[in-house]
Structures are given as structure tokens and as C-alpha cells.
Amino acid sequence: LILNENIQCYTASLKNDSAFLSLKNTDGKIEGKLWNKFYEKDNSKGTLSGTMKNDTLKLIYTFNAEGSTSERPIKMVMKGNKIYEVYGDKMAEEGKGFIYVKSGCKEF
């Protein structure tokens, strides 16, 4: 996967939860959006900003959930044609965590 200034979109699903991700790379600055749709928890929608080093994205997720704005760091690894969310030091595996695949873009 190559990130450039064109917006690229990805989706992930895990059991009844899903996520929609859009990313672009402008002169080394990564920007995007993330929408998490959780089955039994509040959804979250927000923006991503950060950097990319080799195949690793280090992002800050600024989102609204439960009526307030929060921030949290997110780490993702681009491998092959997928993007794996990293939880602690563990990369997502099938059935454990979000693994994003390229998809069409839609506004959210």
C-alpha cells in the first residue's frame, strides 16, 4: 500500500463491530477520518492526524463519543494490501482486532 495525497479508504469488521477509515499523506503528514460502529457500545467518529515511519502509522484520534470530545493515540501497520490496528504491542489478528481492507470511499 502506498499512501499519497489522494484519499484512500478502508473498511474493517469484527463480529458485529465495523470501522471505516480514510487516509491521505501530504508531504509526510498523515490525515484522515475514522468511524467505529460498535454493536453494544457508543459509536465514535473523528479525525486522525500523525506521521508514518516505514510501514507504521502513529496517529492521534480526536473523536466524539457519548457527547464529549476525546483523544487517543492509535498505531497501525501497513502490511501487504491491509492495514492492521495495533493494540498495545500486538498487531491485530483474524478475529482479534480490526484489519482494514481497501474499499470505496463514502462521506461520513
Neighbours of 54 (CB within 10 A): 6
CB 87 within 8 A of CB 97: yes
- Mean pLDDT, range 31-57, rounded to an integer: 93
Q: 51-88: per-residue pLDDT in tens?
A: 999 999 999 999 987 788 999 999 999 998 999 999 98
Per-residue pLDDT, 18: 95
Q: How far apart are CA 104 and CA 108, in angstroms?
A: 13
Per-residue pLDDT, 107: 66
Q: How far apart are CA 17 and CA 24, in angstroms?
A: 24
Per-residue pLDDT, 25: 94
Q: Is the alpha carbon torsion for 89, 99, 12, 97 positive or negative?
A: negative
Question: pLDDT grade, residue 106 (50/70/90)?
Answer: confident
First CA to last CA distance, the chain: 23
